[in-house]
Amino acid sequence: MGPWARRHAAAISALILVGLFLNYVSALEVYPDKSPGEVLWRLLGFFTNLTNGIVAWCFAAMALRGRFLEPFWMGALTLWVCIVGGVYYGVLFQPLEGLSWYADLTIHAIAPLAVTLWWIAYAEKRLSWHDAVVWLLWPLLYLGYALGRGALTGAYPYPFIDPLQIGWGGVAVWFALLACLFLTAGLAMVALSMVAQALGLRRIS
């Protein structure tokens, strides 16, 4: 991994960590009756925070080790964090103010854009159609985790996976739609990688 790739990976990791920290601080203000631990537990229920945390950790590891992740994993991280932004702005967006606005912008918009640009510039574009299917495992694992948490606490992080609001049939329909979104976007990424390979486009070293 070249010096610019390492620097930019470190910057992306730091940016996301700042966004997650601001999100935590703003949540403390929104829920003053809850302890810091309770607020943290609540935030750990969201796909956005978990995915951004995974991306920040992986980019920090690349920056420190000076080694690229396998193309499969770079594609996965890019897809997952882009879906975070797409679903938020397509389904969940609401105007915010103060720290919440900065945190929201960072983890839902800037992080997906930065990771995508890094993938385009530096990542090896060696993906297969099979990858797009395997990438569905993370949202599937998250669904099980979120539903398990909800069964224990009675609180679900998103309205479209809340059986108390929309019923189990509604949850199934929403998950099927989101799975199709993940799969379609994943296949598009694989197609782009194949076009890049066919054209002989090289990543920046």
Q: Could you identify the residue written with the tokens 């983890």?
A: 107
Residue 195 CA to residue 157 CA, distance in Å, equals: 38
Q: Render pLDDT for 146-187 as a digit per residue (tens, 0 to 9).
A: 999 999 998 999 999 999 999 999 999 999 999 999 999 999
Residue 4 pLDDT exceeds 60: yes
Residue 71 CA to residue 83 CA, distance in Å, equals: 18
Residue 82 CA to residue 185 CA, distance in Å, equals: 9
Over range 105-114, report the average pLDDT.
Answer: 96
At 60, list the tokens.
Answer: 């920090």
Residue 28 pLDDT exceeds 70: yes
Cβ atoms of 159 and 165 within 8 Å: the answer is: yes
Over range 79-85, report the average pLDDT.
Answer: 96
